[in-house]
Amino acid sequence: MGQLTFHGHACTEIRTADGTRLLIDPWLTDNPLADVGPEGFYDDLDYVLLTHGHFDHTGDAYEILRRSGATLIATFELVSYAQNEEGVENAHPLHIGGGFQFPFGRVQLTPAFHGGQVAGEHGGGYTTFPAGLLMQLDGTSVYHAGDTSLTREFELLRDRVDVALLPIGDNFTMGPSDAVRAVDMIRPGVVIPIHYDTFEVIEQDPEAFREAVGDLAEVVILSPGESYEF
């Protein structure tokens, strides 16, 4: 059985049945919703996965990667930035549509419609296509959408996702009503709303989102620090 723990905003930790520990989009320092700091990942982490280069997703990633020796999984451009400018050693680049069978499971990058800036002191020369993460873990299909608008790309995921983490914050990503349309297109078993309430402009009511989703899927609302087992 795998375990998924939400740490606020888009940061999601996953422990697979074989004990592999993954961390997605670790922005913890200065994240007003984070329930943990980066220190908890320095000594025990296997992979960091990044959906795109914005600070609210990469915030603590490079420090965690340097200290833990974990392997970065991200787009080619983000991996190049991390290795050339941030002192990250271990990395496995992928790109949109491409997947790879890692020892813990398969990871495939999906398209996300969003900004391509790579944040960081020397990030100006880098840009990347933002991604979602489609992961096959212990027989469960877990999809972390990253930051994205509503897009027809979701139709390609229909009936192929068990657990979907979808942004509902609006302003920087799709908002609740478009996220409901995304659920209708993907038809996952479980939806976990993310990327809301961190800033004033993305304050949302997840209970209202649950009601709007209705019978389309089970909505699991995780407060930072709470886990879902799959």
Distance CA 201, CA 56 (A): 14
Q: Between residues 46 and 60, which has the closer beta carbon with respect to Mn ion? A: 60
46 lies in the site for Mn ion, by CB under 5 A: no
* Least distance from Ni ion to the Cβ atom of residue 189, Å: 26
Distance CA 165, CA 151 (A): 15
Q: Between residues 15 and 195, which has the closer beta carbon with respect to Ni ion? A: 195
114 with 147: CB under 8 angstroms?
A: yes
49 with 70: CB under 8 angstroms?
A: no
- Which of Ni ion, Mn ion, none sits in contact with 7, Cβ below 5 to 8 A by type? none
Q: Between residues 51 and 141, which has the closer beta carbon with respect to Mn ion? A: 51
Q: Which stretch binds Mn ion (CB under 5 A): 51-59, 82-90, 92-100, 208-216?
A: 51-59
Distance CA 119, CA 130 (A): 13
Q: Which residues bind Ni ion (CB under 5 A)?
A: 54, 147
57 with 10: CB under 8 angstroms?
A: yes
Q: Between residues 56 and 63, which has the closer beta carbon with respect to Ni ion? A: 56
146 with 169: CB under 8 angstroms?
A: no
Q: Of the candidates 46, 77, 86, 147, which one interacts with Mn ion according to CB under 5 A?
A: 147
List residues binding Mn ion (CB under 5 A): 56, 147
